Amino acid sequence: MANILILGAGTMGTAFSIPCSDNNHKIFIVGTHLENKFVDQVNFKKKHPILNCTIPRNVKFVKLNKLKTIANGKIDLIAIAVVSKGIEWASKELSKIIKKNTPILILTKGLDIYKNKFEVMPHKMERILKKNGIKKTNISIAGGPCLAKNLSSKINTSVIFANKDIKSVKKISKLVSTNYYHISYSRDVVGVGLCSAIKNIFSMAIGSSVTHLNASAGIFQQSINEMLILIKKLKGKKETVMGLAGVGDLYVSAVGGRNSKMGEYLGRGMTFTQVKKIKMAKDTVEGADLALKIGYKIKKDFDNNKIPIMTSMINSICKNSILKIDWKKF
């Protein structure tokens, strides 16, 4: 039996606790500073209100003020399940309690820019931890098609864990893999991190033609082509794009979810701000947030004529304009 700490009480953190629980581990799900009321709600009802799943007995939801107490004991794995904007916060919290070489698995999918360079989530966390005095870290990242509701329902789910030290992800896999949670491995941390993030932008484009399957399929294929262009320049591996973190995750995001839904509204002729105000006011749309964050650098660093889907989505989101995809360019 292992002790697993999950930072973030949302859907993905809770879903990840299910296979951990089935392997008879003791799991602590620590809510962020914004989740105190939510933690109380889950503990009172013994169910996750969004996933509608019963919380196993060996899974404990606790508030952030208990993090230090939990960390004083033995922790075999720390999983990060906050939104991408929360990685910096999570890194600072971990710097207060993490012990040497404790394995960290980032479930968060996102991409940032630091010193005018693209930065995947493991590298961002490593940088912040070092800045806060934690010089040696062991950080892996999870990618691939994993809808929280499916995982919490124990539907067969295939994911990929990446770490330059392949032994590290194999050790994590032994802790959390089950007969429905299937894990493969990669050393391509950059590729898995990039694909996991940028597929959200492409899934909006595919969603824009969701009612016209011929067009949607064409955009899907072009999205893969553009992911290959992006990944090559940013030093990831082609194989990663063609695997679970790329094509696999793109498929899941394109057929359902908030990004695809945003794309559908854009495809109907609405602008981004109109959709946010009228249709998706309470929804976090990762692809749109990412386009706003990295759009300017993508357009600056790449030949826009070779990535027309990405360029069209960035223009639509960042300029708040009607989505126009130029089919003549692909």
DSSP letters spanning 167-216:
HHHHHHHHHH--SSEEEEEES-HHHHHHHHHHHHHHHHHHHTTTT-HHHH
Give CA–CA dist 57/169, Å, rounded. 27
Give CA–CA dist 226/234, Å, rounded. 12
Question: Who's near 108: CB < 8 A, 6+ residues apart?
Answer: 8, 80, 81, 82, 83, 84, 86, 87, 121
Structure tokens at 26: 């003791």
Structure tokens at 310: 């990405």
Where do the domains of the chain lie?
3-187, 195-329
Superfamily of domain 195-329: N-(1-d-carboxylethyl)-l-norvaline Dehydrogenase; domain 2 (1.10.1040.10)
Q: Has residue 100 got a pLDDT over 90?
A: no
pLDDT number for residue 9: 95
In CATH, which of 3.40.50.720, 3.40.50.300, 3.30.70.870, 3.40.50.1970 is domain 3-187? 3.40.50.720
- What is the per-residue pLDDT across 114-129, written as a single tens digit (0 to 9) for each? 999 999 999 999 999 9
pLDDT number for residue 210: 83
pLDDT number for residue 135: 86
Q: Has residue 101 got a pLDDT over 90?
A: no
Query: Per-residue confidence at 320, pLDDT binned at 50, 70, 90?
Result: very high
Q: Report CA 15 to chain centroid distance, whole Å.
A: 13
What share of residues in the chain are helix, strand, coil (percent, to 5)? Answer: 55, 15, 30
pLDDT number for residue 257: 85
Q: Has residue 39 got a pLDDT over 90?
A: yes
Q: Which of 105, 289, 103, 82 is nearest to 189 (CA)?
A: 105
pTM of the model: 0.95
Structure tokens at 153: 């329902």
Question: Who's near 44: CB < 8 A, 6+ residues apart?
Answer: none
Question: Who's near 73: CB < 8 A, 6+ residues apart?
Answer: 3
Structure tokens at 11: 């859907």
Q: What is the CA radius of gyration of the chain?
A: 19
